[in-house]
């Protein structure tokens, strides 16, 4: 029998709050974390809104000197990891450090420090570049610094699979535990790229919403009037463990990870295949890995970006995989409230899925005001729903056609 893997701790830094409880309550209440961009002058940008993390102080989680030389995305990762470790009551010491690993996903890494440093070179010359520039920029410093801060010396890696990176990180960590290479993993996704380069780049692709006058209504997955996604930032971290390891130390259990699937679209740099075939193969692979029948799934936390192509493609994929059961599924698109965290999305959304199972509440898809004739499933519109969930899926699909699906289940001994 393969090892069983469970979620024993969670940590969140999101546009809805710094902390799990604040974020989860706001999410279930249907609050939006999207507003005007405050980090830079947006007067000449097509898109002037984003989902920024508010009231975050790195010095709450790091010594003052260290906080100053830690890039924002790394600080988010350390903060969420500390919350998750504390939540799991996981003690890492000399006796188990090499059996605890760290894998996180991050799509763009330290894009902000790269942008700032390029400007500094152009304006002040290369001698003004900080010696911390490279360590602050590279994506693998998120798991690297988590390892250093908490003494985890097991498998350590960073994934950069665009918007699927956080989910891939959780899935790969799950496989590492299944293979007996670690007993516990600190895993999830992180991103912080609310900066001119990111916004200008996605604007050039016509990917972002330009509903600047109504920021809290801008992200509207599966709604007829969706016009693009909203950039978000933050981090979601989970502690996942082999079941025997968790039981031995008396850990709480939020949910069990029971399936993981991956696929490639092989279709286009940025667009999904219209029929959703790549996503469908990914969801099918997760179901096969779990051994569950398609009609066992009760709930999906959708990728649901609020772009015309993605939402239609994902809906078609769900219908393809779940057949007549598709209309029985409850589906949340939590990006309607958090914005799209890019490489961090899979981290926070896996946390949300675990919380939905353990707490019995399904977050709504807000701004679902006008039905789309082809997006006609149950997207839990506008109001949270109480429900007992036995098996849930969370989807993350990235540029380049890279896909990840995870299945989480209610834990039964």
DSSP 178-245: HTTS-SEEEEEEEE---SHHHHHHHHHTT-B---TT-GGGT--TTBTT---B-BB-EEEEEEEEEHHH
Nearest CA to 49 out of 192, 199, 207 is that of 199
Active site residue 327: no
Half-sphere exposure of 73 (CA within 13 A, CB side): 35
| Distance separating alpha carbons of residues 169 and 156, to the nearest angstrom | 11
Q: Choose among 182, 185, 201, 204: nearest CA to 193.
A: 201
- Catalytic residue (one of 163, 198, 235, 375): 163
DSSP of 110-173:
SHHHHHHHHHHHHHH-GGG--TTHHHHH-TTHHHHHHHHHHT--S-EEEE--GGGHHHHHHHHH
Whole-number Å distance between alpha carbons of 378 and 326 = 9
Active site residue 412: no
d(C-alpha 31, C-alpha 216), whole Å: 9
Q: Of these residues, 303, 368, 375, 391, which one is catalytic?
A: 303
Gap between the Cα atoms of 91 and 103, Å rounded:
18
Active site residue 106: no
Active-site residue, selected from the candidate residues 168, 340, 368, 391 = 340
End-to-end CA distance of the chain: 15
Which residue has tokens 């999410």?
Answer: 27
Distance CA 329, CA 283 (A): 14
- Is residue 186 within 8 Å of residue 149, measured between CB atoms? no
Tokens of 186: 């600190």
Q: How far apart are CA 64 and CA 198, in angstroms?
A: 28
- φ/ψ of residue 157, rounded to 5: -160, 160
Q: Which positions are catalytic?
A: 163, 303, 340
């Amino acid at each position: 029998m393969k090892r069983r893997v469970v979620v024993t701790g969670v940590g969140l830094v999101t546009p809805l709050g710094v902390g799990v409880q604040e974020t989860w309550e706001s999410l279930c209440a249907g609050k939006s974390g999207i507003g005007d961009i405050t980090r830079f002058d947006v007067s000449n940008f097509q898109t002037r809104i984003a989902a920024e993390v508010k009231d975050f102080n790195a010095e709450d989680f790091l010594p003052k000197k260290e906080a100053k030389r830690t890039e924002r995305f790394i600080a988010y990762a350390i903060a969420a990891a500390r919350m998750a470790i504390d939540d799991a009551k996981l003690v890492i010491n000399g006796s188990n450090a090499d059996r605890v690993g760290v894998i996180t996903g991050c799509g763009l890494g330290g894009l902000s420090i790269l942008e700032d440093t390029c400007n500094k070179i152009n304006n002040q010359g290369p001698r003004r570049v900080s010696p911390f520039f490279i360590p602050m920029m590279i994506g693998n410093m998120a798991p690297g610094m988590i390892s250093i801060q908490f003494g985890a010396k097991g498998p350590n890696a960073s994934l950069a699979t665009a918007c699927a990176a956080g989910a891939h990180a959780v899935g790969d960590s799950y496989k590492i535990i299944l293979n007996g290479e670690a007993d516990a993993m600190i895993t999830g996704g992180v991103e912080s790229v609310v900066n001119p380069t990111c916004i200008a780049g996605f604007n050039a692709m016509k990917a972002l919403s330009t509903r600047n006058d109504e920021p809290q209504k801008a992200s509207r997955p599966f709604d007829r009037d969706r016009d693009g996604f909203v950039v978000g930032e933050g981090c979601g971290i989970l502690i996942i463990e082999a079941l025997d390891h968790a039981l031995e130390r008396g850990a709480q259990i939020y949910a069990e990870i029971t399936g993981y699937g991956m696929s490639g679209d092989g279709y286009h740099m940025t667009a999904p295949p219209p029929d959703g075939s790549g996503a469908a193969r990914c969801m099918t692979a997760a179901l096969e890995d779990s051994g569950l029948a398609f009609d066992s799934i009760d709930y999906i936390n959708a990728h649901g970006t609020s772009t015309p192509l993605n939402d239609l493609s994902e809906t078609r994929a769900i219908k393809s995989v779940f057949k007549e059961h598709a209309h029985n599924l409850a589906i949340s698109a939590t990006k309607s409230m958090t914005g799209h965290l890019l490489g961090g999305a899979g981290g926070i959304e896996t946390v949300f899925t675990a919380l939905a199972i353990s707490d019995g509440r399904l977050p709504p898809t807000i701004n679902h005001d006008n039905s789309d004739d082809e997006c006609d499933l149950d997207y839990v519109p506008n109001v949270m729903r109480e429900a007992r969930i036995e098996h849930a899926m969370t989807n993350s699909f990235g540029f380049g056609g890279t896909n990840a699906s995870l299945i989480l289940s209610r834990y039964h001994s």
